[in-house]
Structure 1
Amino acid sequence: MILIVDDRPENILPLKKILELHGFLVDTAESGEEALRKILKAAYSVIILDVQMPEMDGFEVANAISGFSKARDTSIIFLSAVNTEKKFITKGYTAGGIDYLTKPVDPDILALKVKTLHKLYEQQQELRMVQDSLRREIDIRKQAQEQLAGQLRELQAILASLPEIAFTVTPDGRIEYVNEHWYRYAVDAATFPVTHPDDNLRMALAKALTGGTGFVREVRLRDHHSGEYRHHLLRLMPIRQHTQQVSRWIGTFTDIHPQKQAAELLEQEVALRTRELLLNNAELERTNHELQQFTWVVSHDLKEPLRKIQLLNDHIREKYLKENNEAVSYLERVIRSSARMARLIDDLLAYTHLSAPEVFRPTDLNALLAELLLDFDEPIRRSGAEIIIGKLPVIDTIPVRIRQVFQNLISNALKFVQPGQPPVIRIHAERIATKAIDGELAATGPFCRIVVQDNGIGFDEKFLDRIFVIFQRLHSQTSYEGTGIGLAIAKKNMAKHQGLISAQSRPGEGASFILILPVRQTDPAQHP
């Protein structure tokens, strides 16, 4: 913007029109005081100042303007129609004027001078902006350098306090800083510790520095004094600036020699224990085989005299004691005891056979139960039992073992009935998502939940754990027959199938036995 200062409006108007025709914004003032007020509020590139003005002439105004920091880059052109002598011109330049023109003024010359001075003003403003920007950039960089130097000092203090070898490396691979532990394995701060030739560290380290990635590796460093190689864990991590460019690397060597020695001793101990375990397993397998043979022989030898006792007792009862009711009663008790002893031997033999490996195969549980119920035809007919079986899935099982589970559960349901009430047995299945008794339903879940429910005498659930323990009974033998092995066999068979078995019951309200079985056996090998 251009400011024209003259006390006579008729002088201002033509100058203003001329400058406006050349595209300048023009402001005016009719006194020195008004000019000073405007200069305090706005910035002017050029001031055209009349010398002869009342109260405050042009020289006084120029002297006052020179004290304004806002106008330090403003150029002043003096105009005068009277004071054309050399002393006045000199005084104008001394007062801070850039030029001194006498009236009448050539408008084209004035416009050219204003253009030149205006352009010079704009260049000065741009230069000041660049200088200010550079000054701010220098201040920012100075602060950043001071901050970086402080961080570096703090980092070095931290590294110096570490109980392990610590160092920093510049992006070009030059060692920048080392702590005192470095000198145990290196001659000086500029030399890298000597590593074992088999570790091939230099090539891997150069690759990590080139790639800008972190580096972790076990190495062996040679002790500078003893010459012994000790195991260390090298960690080298890049420190990046906000531009993601690596500014330095921080590295540590952690002494893991004691742990390495302990690990080697542990490996030797594990190898020794493994050999011992293999020998013990072989011995155990041989002993188990011998035990199975012994069990078979013993059970056979025990059952043979029992069969003779039963046969002879039957013969004595029929031939010699028909008329002696008391003797027949005693003899029948002996026969029942012998039969119970025979069942106990059979159950024990079945229980010991559960450890033998067997193969899983797809099994239709509906077909298996249909075949099993034929064995219960007489007890079902005699008790008037009703058995309701829902749609059961085809799953991987050892058929003979899963048959034992259902056989024992159905046998118990037919045995533990409430007086005068025909037994009702319901069997149904559903797919679930997890191997849990209360697993959530899932149409394609990997597990199957089978519930065998009866309306029998039930039991108190505080005895739940007890009913699956071998020889544990909740009722006396005089009340209900049995050896106390059936549910223990069922539990062991379920474990062999990687499954679960549990029960829910209340006295007098029946019982529900819950089986959880995998639909597919993930490991086709035999389970223990």
Structure 2
Amino acid sequence: MVLIVDDNQENVFSLKTLLDLHKFDVDTANSGEEALKKILKNTYSLIILDVQMPDMDGFEVAEAVSGYSKSKDIPIIFLSAVNTHKKFITKGYASGGIDYVTKPFDPDILLLKIKTFYKLSEQTRRLQEMDRVLRDEIEFRKRAESRLKDNVAELESILESIPQVAFTTDFDGNVEFVNQNWYQFAGRRDEFPQCEEGDIRQYIKTAIRAQHQQVNEVKVKKLGTEAFRFYVLYLTPVKHHGIASKWVGILTDIHEQKIAAQLLEKRVQERTTELVHANQKLEESNYELQQFAFIASHDLQEPLRKIQVFSNLLNEKYTPPSVQAQGYLEKINLSAERLRKLIADVLDYSNIKGETAFSIVDLNGVLERLLTDLEVVIRAKGATITAGPLPTLEVIPVQIRQVFQNLISNALKFARKDVPCHIEITAEHVAEKAVDAAAVPDGDYCRITVRDNGIGFSEDYAEKIFEIFQRLNTSERYEGTGIGLAIVKKVIDRHYGLIAARSVESQGTCFIMVFPVRQTASVEALEHLNI
């Protein structure tokens, strides 16, 4: 911007018009005081200053402008029609002007001078700006270099204090610093510790190519020794603007841990082999045991039938027997019947593994057919059974029927004598395999609840009731073998489900079962479980 300072409005107008025609940005002032105020507020590239002005002449204004740090480098062209003597021209140059033009003047010559000085002023201003930026950049770099030196010194101090081998390299992998532990493996700083397959230099080159941290397990030996030991080499980049400018290396001894891990791995492999053999023997033993239980149970049934037959013959042919003899015969028959049921339950328990075919089953149909088969017992007990809609699950049909049959029979058997038996069966989808899981419409699991109002039991025995041959009541009061709930538990385990019992004495029992809606395990996986 060019500032024209003149108290004559005609001069200002004519000169401003000339500069406007040549695309100069022009500002004007009518006095020296106004010019100084504008110079303090604005930035000008050239000042055209009239010498003869009231109050404050051009020389005084020029001296004031030269005294301001902001404006001291602004070029000033004096313009005068009166003060044309040599002494005024000399005074103009002395007060800070770079040219002195007397009137009348040639407009073209004046315009050339204005363009020249304006261009020089702009160049000077840009150079000063560049100089300022460069000075700031130099100062910034000095401070950054100082901080970097401090950081490097701090890093080297830290690396010197640690018990591991530590070193730093430049971005090309040339060693810059090593701590004292380095010399246990290398005689000089520019040497590298020897690895079983070379030296550490190859790992540094790999890290430089990758440009990110590298962790390598290496075998290194100390100077004066022949044995290689296990170490972990950490190579971490120190990045500046995303580029690794330095690398920090740490070599940590892991020999004892490595040897221990190898020994542990070997023992685990040995133990795994032993377990595989033991599992095979266990499977063979389980198969033989199942065969034995099946054969023994069948073989026991034949003499048991003879006991029952001959006991009935004695009762029929040699009647009337004595009261004592009749009591003995009744005990024989009762014991034989209990033994028959026990044998049947043992057969059921041993045969659970035999059926492995899962299929999609509507539990409503299973329950409906079961209740039809139990109709006589239910009517004799005066029991009522209510069931909400049951889902369709992927199950083993025969076994899931056995679960419902055992739980309903259990509820009928342990009904209170003075209270009508009521059994309630409900089902809902849940989010996870847990007894108390939240109910969700499309859950992957189904929770089925069988609740009765029977005699109940103390929850101290909630886990024991699922163990085989466990009875909470004597056989004289309640018939049974103690295998029914064990069968239920085993069937649910085969379905990857879970069961829990909750009860209050004299108020009833609630059995809660959780089944997967769909079975994802194969038959082979089920066989592997050995249940």
TM-score (norm 1): 0.83
Q: Distance in 1 between matches of 2:379 and 2:102?
A: 143
* Distance verdict in 2 for CA 1:38–1:288, change over 3 Å: closer
1:138 CA displacement: 1.9
**Letter in structure 2 aligned against 1:160:** E
1:19/1:26 contact within 8 Å kept: no
Q: What SS does structure 1 have at the residue aligned with 2:463?
A: helix
1:362 CA displacement: 1.0
1:235 matches 2:234: yes
Task: Find the counterpart in structure 1 of residue 213 from structure 2.
Answer: 214
Deviation sequence 1:20-41 (CA, Å, 0-9, x none): 12224332327xx777677666
1:183 CA displacement: 2.8
Q: What SS does structure 2 have at the residue aligned with 1:411?
A: helix
1:49 CA displacement: 4.8
Task: Find the counterpart in structure 1 of residue 174 from structure 2.
Answer: 174
**Letter in structure 2 aligned against 1:362:** S
1:18/1:111 contact within 8 Å kept: no
Task: Find the counterpart in structure 2 of residue 117 from structure 1.
Answer: 117
* Distance verdict in 2 for CA 1:405–1:81, change over 3 Å: closer
Task: Find the counterpart in structure 1 of residue 132 from structure 2.
Answer: 132
* Distance verdict in 2 for CA 1:383–1:151, change over 3 Å: same
Q: Distance in 2 between matches of 1:124 and 1:307?
A: 126
Deviation sequence 1:420-471 (CA, Å, 0-9, x none): 6654444444333321223333444332323334444444545433432334
Q: Distance in 2 between matches of 1:227 and 1:521?
A: 59
* Distance verdict in 2 for CA 1:429–1:67, change over 3 Å: closer
* 5+ long unaligned stretches in structure 1: none
Which of 333, 342, 359 does residue 362 from structure 1 map onto? 359
1:411 CA displacement: 1.6
2:31/2:53 contact within 8 Å kept: no
1:189 matches 2:186: no
* Distance verdict in 2 for CA 1:484–1:133, change over 3 Å: same
Q: Distance in 1 between matches of 2:330 and 2:54?
A: 155
Q: What SS does structure 1 have at the residue aligned with 2:181?
A: helix
Shifted more, 365-374 versus 446-455: the winner is 365-374
**Letter in structure 2 aligned against 1:339:** E
Matches within 5 A, 1:329-344: 329-344=327-342
RMSD (CA atoms): 3.7
Q: What SS does structure 2 have at the residue aligned with 1:514?
A: strand
Q: Distance in 1 between matches of 2:159 and 2:215?
A: 18
2:431/2:444 contact within 8 Å kept: yes
Task: Find the counterpart in structure 2 of residue 410 from structure 1.
Answer: 408
* Distance verdict in 2 for CA 1:419–1:134, change over 3 Å: same
Matches within 5 A, 1:419-498: 419=417, 423-498=421-496
* Distance verdict in 2 for CA 1:229–1:463, change over 3 Å: closer
Deviation sequence 1:346-370 (CA, Å, 0-9, x none): 434544555x565232153455445
Deviation sequence 1:458-496 (CA, Å, 0-9, x none): 445454334323343333333221222221222222223
* Distance verdict in 2 for CA 1:143–1:81, change over 3 Å: same
Matches within 5 A, 1:267-282: 267-282=265-280
Matches within 5 A, 1:280-359: 280-292=278-290, 294-296=292-294, 299=297, 306-322=304-320, 324-352=322-350, 354=352, 356=353, 358-359=355-356
**Letter in structure 2 aligned against 1:213:** H
**Letter in structure 2 aligned against 1:19:** L
1:46 matches 2:30: no
1:145 matches 2:145: yes
Q: Distance in 2 between matches of 1:34 and 1:306?
A: 133
Task: Find the counterpart in structure 1 of residue 22 from structure 2.
Answer: none
Q: Distance in 2 between matches of 1:280 and 1:318?
A: 56
**Letter in structure 1 aligned against 2:31:** A
**Letter in structure 2 aligned against 1:338:** A
Deviation sequence 1:1-30 (CA, Å, 0-9, x none): 43546xxx5xx3453233212224332327
* Distance verdict in 2 for CA 1:158–1:328, change over 3 Å: same
Q: Distance in 2 between matches of 1:372 and 1:173?
A: 81
Q: Distance in 2 between matches of 1:226 and 1:369?
A: 79
1:173 CA displacement: 3.0
1:258 CA displacement: 1.6
TM-score (norm 2): 0.82
1:190 CA displacement: 2.7
Q: What SS does structure 1 have at the residue aligned with 2:467?
A: coil
Q: Distance in 1 between matches of 2:56 and 2:28?
A: 22
2:425/2:449 contact within 8 Å kept: yes
Q: What SS does structure 1 have at the residue aligned with 2:194?
A: coil
**Letter in structure 2 aligned against 1:180:** Q
* Distance verdict in 2 for CA 1:310–1:143, change over 3 Å: same
Task: Find the counterpart in structure 2 of residue 29 from structure 1.
Answer: 31
Deviation sequence 1:261-310 (CA, Å, 0-9, x none): 11211122122222332333344344444544554565566555544443
Shifted more, 452-461 versus 178-187: the winner is 452-461
Q: What SS does structure 2 have at the residue aligned with 1:512?
A: strand
Q: Distance in 1 between matches of 2:253 and 2:286?
A: 49
Which of 15, 21, 27 does residue 19 from structure 1 map onto? 15
Q: Distance in 2 between matches of 1:41 and 1:351?
A: 103
Q: Distance in 2 between matches of 1:54 and 1:381?
A: 131
* Distance verdict in 2 for CA 1:319–1:208, change over 3 Å: same
1:72 CA displacement: 1.5
1:106 CA displacement: 4.8
* Distance verdict in 2 for CA 1:130–1:335, change over 3 Å: same
2:29/2:35 contact within 8 Å kept: no
1:47/1:74 contact within 8 Å kept: no
Q: Distance in 2 between matches of 1:202 and 1:208?
A: 10
Deviation sequence 1:183-219 (CA, Å, 0-9, x none): 333343233333332x898777545422423322222
Task: Find the counterpart in structure 1 of residue 69 from structure 2.
Answer: 69
Q: Distance in 2 between matches of 1:378 and 1:71?
A: 118
**Letter in structure 2 aligned against 1:18:** S
**Letter in structure 1 aligned against 2:27:** L
Q: What SS does structure 2 have at the residue aligned with 1:138?
A: helix
2:39/2:71 contact within 8 Å kept: yes
1:401/1:493 contact within 8 Å kept: yes
Q: What SS does structure 2 have at the residue aligned with 1:479?
A: coil
1:86 CA displacement: 5.0
Shifted more, 296-305 versus 116-125: the winner is 296-305
Q: What SS does structure 1 have at the residue aligned with 2:329?
A: helix
1:360/1:396 contact within 8 Å kept: no
Q: Distance in 1 between matches of 2:49 and 2:36?
A: 13
* Distance verdict in 2 for CA 1:516–1:115, change over 3 Å: closer
1:360/1:521 contact within 8 Å kept: no
1:222 CA displacement: 3.5
* Distance verdict in 2 for CA 1:13–1:105, change over 3 Å: farther
2:48/2:79 contact within 8 Å kept: no
Shifted more, 56-65 versus 148-157: the winner is 56-65
**Letter in structure 1 aligned against 2:29:** D
Q: Distance in 2 between matches of 1:385 and 1:58?
A: 124
